[in-house]
Amino acid sequence: MAIKSFSKINLSLRVTKKLSNGLHNLQSYFCLIDLHDLIKIKKIKGTKHLVKFSGKFSKHVNKKENSILNTLKILESNRLIFNNYSIDVKKNVPAFSGLGGGTSNAVFLLKYFIKKKNKKIAKISRILSENIGSDVKLFFQNQGFLKNINEINTFKKKHKVHFLLVFPNIKCSTKYIYSKVKKFSTNSEFSFNQINKKDKFLYYLKNSTNDLQLIVEKKHNRIKKLILRIGQLEGCVFSRMTGSGSVCYGVFQSKNSAKKALNTIKRIYPKYWSVIAKTI
């Protein structure tokens, strides 16, 4: 059995305060995109699970401590799986990129094993959030607004959006980036009026921000230059960084304009990883 583990993009990101547990309260418009890791799952005989990573970005995965192994342990300790499995993850999503690849692997593995037990999913997802990351909840919605660290407003209408993604071969430490947050944004109220039409939604997002972007740009000036360069490409509505970085992206008016932009970026930055993607 093979399942797709989709990545996410933060279309906006506000850091509103630091919580007593050390985490930060966030607000973010987000979406899942069709860029995905591929997870192959097979029941096996033996005394332990066999977990293997392949693909372009597999070398950045800690083979002894990762989200797949952690998820399997949590499922076992909660008596939700009783067999051993061979799991092969083809890593197409860059690590340390802000696309949530490792968290996505955990969530989609969870949904595979207990997809018919909704109460159990809610319970285990909370445990995953505590052990893997607070962005676990994002991967249960294709598009939405993270109102705070515990609550998501879902979209009644989903918008089709095309992206150019560029990974500048910089590994951003989420822990380090958040340690540099000194100022906090005010809370923003979610309104369906802001998203009921695609043009209105993109205009709203264009005038939004990612509060972590300035911190990353100060540490890595080439990310600032890359975001500006993407924004200058024909058909780009706006350009930004996702999450705590370092993947930079542009939102484009159409698939064709995104394709043309990809060709330009490949020519200018031949050593950077770059692809086009769209919302799922």
34 is catalytic: no
Within a 10 A sphere around the Cβ of 31, how many other Cβ atoms?
A: 23
The DSSP code for 93 is S
- Which candidate in 8, 90, 91, 137 is catalytic? 8
Separation of CA 144 from chain center: 13
8 is catalytic: yes
Instruction: Kindly write down the DSSP assignment for every residue of 191-206, as one continuous string.
Output: -GGGTSSHHHHHHHHH
Q: How far apart are CA 14 and CA 147, in angstroms?
A: 10
Residue 77's Cβ-count burial label (10 Å; 0-12, 13-18, 19+) is: exposed
**Helix, strand, coil percent content, the chain, rounded in steps of 5:** 35, 30, 35
- Which candidate in 37, 135, 137, 211 is catalytic? 135
For residues 37 and 104, the answer to whether their CB atoms sit within 8 Å is yes
Instruction: Please identify every residue annotated as catalytic.
Output: 8, 135
